Amino acid sequence: MTALMNKNNKHLKNVSNIIEGLGNHKDPESIQLLEEIGTNSSLDVIREMTSRALIKKNEHDALAVVITNKGKGINDLSTMVAMSTINELLGLKDKTEALKILTDTVEMHSDEEVRDNARSVKALMALS
Amino acid sequence: MANLSISNIRERIFNTSKHEASVARPANSVSNPFAANTFKGNVLTADVFETSKPKEPAFTGATKLKASALVGSLTNLGSKIQAGIESIAAFGRRMKEGVTNTWQKMRETEISFAPMKDAFKGAVSNAKNNVVNKWNSMFEKGITAKQIESMPIAEIRPMLAGEVALAEDSAKLVA
């Protein structure tokens, strides 16, 4: 059991390093890769790492993944993942792009739940 | 009573022309055998039958040229048809040969495929081992985020997918 946990920790460490590296990667395809593999993982911890890496990029496409997609980022079914993503958004030094995407989401998104979440996060960001 | 001596009989048998010459119609007579007869009181005066002597074709001058051209064209046509038939036959033969050759090549390919497959398998296996070894050695040393930053996405993609899958599998086993 301990061996299995150690093995699991080893793989999670590798995943963490790769995701962190992708967060700093200059290639725009890194966003696509994080969205494709990281945000669709069945493990909460990997989705959480991925959301943080995407927010760290502070680019339109990367922020849009965690704000406008149902079931990802701030709209994740896991409270831990959603709260961690919101916390990361609140910690951004430059919130301009995030606020712009949140405003657009509140005004134009087709899903009511996504609009409500975006509105709440936008209010929190305005207070911070 | 006829004289039935052997000499007379012999003469009648072997010298027929002497005795039958008077029976044959004269050569200059008309060809109508009914010319001298009467039909209900009317005499057929006109020779209604064509003479048995065949007409010579009047091939002269231009006609000869036309005829020879016609014959020539017909001959050419025949040769063309023959050539066409031959070409069809040749085409069929070529097709047959082509199919046979292809089949033969396929069979040869099939025969020679096994070593190729082995070679391919070996090459793929080597390449895979190289990648896995490189990957393992990288992780054994402890891959850092800095190393990932400088790597191309095409190389990172399988690494991330593989590690995520392994982490998910391990988590399932632990649970």
Share of chain A above pLDDT 90, in %: 88
Token pair for A8? 């699991």
Quick: pLDDT tens for A31-66. Answer: 999 999 999 999 999 999 999 999 999 999 999 999
Residue B155 has pLDDT above 80, yes or no: yes
Q: Are A91 and A82 in contact (CB under 8 A)?
A: no
Task: Identify the pLDDT of residue B13.
Answer: 72
Quick: pLDDT tens for A89-111. Answer: 999 999 999 999 999 999 999 99
Quick: pLDDT tens for B73-88. Answer: 555 656 666 666 666 6
Q: Touching check for B175 and chain A: CB below 8 Å?
A: no
Distance from CA of A126 to the nearest CA of B (A): 33
Token pair for B149? 């930053």
- What value does the mean pLDDT take over residues B148-168? 92
CB contact under 8 A, B163 and A1: no
Q: How far apart are CA A101 and CA A58, in angstroms?
A: 11
Q: How far apart are CA A69 and CA A117, in angstroms?
A: 11
Which residues of chain B have a CB within 8 Å of the CB of A20? 145, 148
Enumerate residues 6+ apart whose C-beta is below 8 A from A82: A73, A74, A75, A76, A117
Enumerate residues 6+ apart whose C-beta is below 8 A from A28: A61
Q: Are B173 and A28 in contact (CB under 8 A)?
A: no
Q: How far apart are CA A77 and CA A68, in angstroms?
A: 14
Which residues of chain B have a CB within 8 Å of the CB of A56? none
The pTM (predicted TM-score) of the whole model is: 0.54
Cα–Cα distance list, B3 to A111, B8, B26 (Å)? 142, 7, 29
Q: How confident is the model at residue B172 (pLDDT cuts 50, 70, 90)?
A: confident
Task: Identify the pLDDT of residue A120.
Answer: 95
Task: Identify the pLDDT of residue B7.
Answer: 77
Quick: pLDDT tens for B94-138. Answer: 766 666 666 566 556 554 556 656 665 666 566 656 655 665 665
Q: How far apart are CA A67 and CA A117, in angstroms?
A: 9
Q: Is the dihedral of CA B24, B27, B28, B31 positive or negative?
A: positive
Which residue on chain B is closest to A20 by alpha carbon?
B145
Q: How confident is the model at residue A19 (pLDDT cuts 50, 70, 90)?
A: very high
Q: Touching check for A49 and chain B: CB below 8 Å?
A: no
CB contact under 8 A, A21 and B161: no
Residue B44 has pLDDT above 80, yes or no: no
Q: How confident is the model at residue B11 (pLDDT cuts 50, 70, 90)?
A: confident
Indicate the average pLDDT of chain A. 93
Cα–Cα distance list, A73 to A2, A93, B52 (Å)? 32, 19, 116
Residue B57 has pLDDT above 60, yes or no: no
Distance from CA of A96 to the nearest CA of B (A): 26
Q: How far apart are CA B154 and CA B37, in angstroms?
A: 118
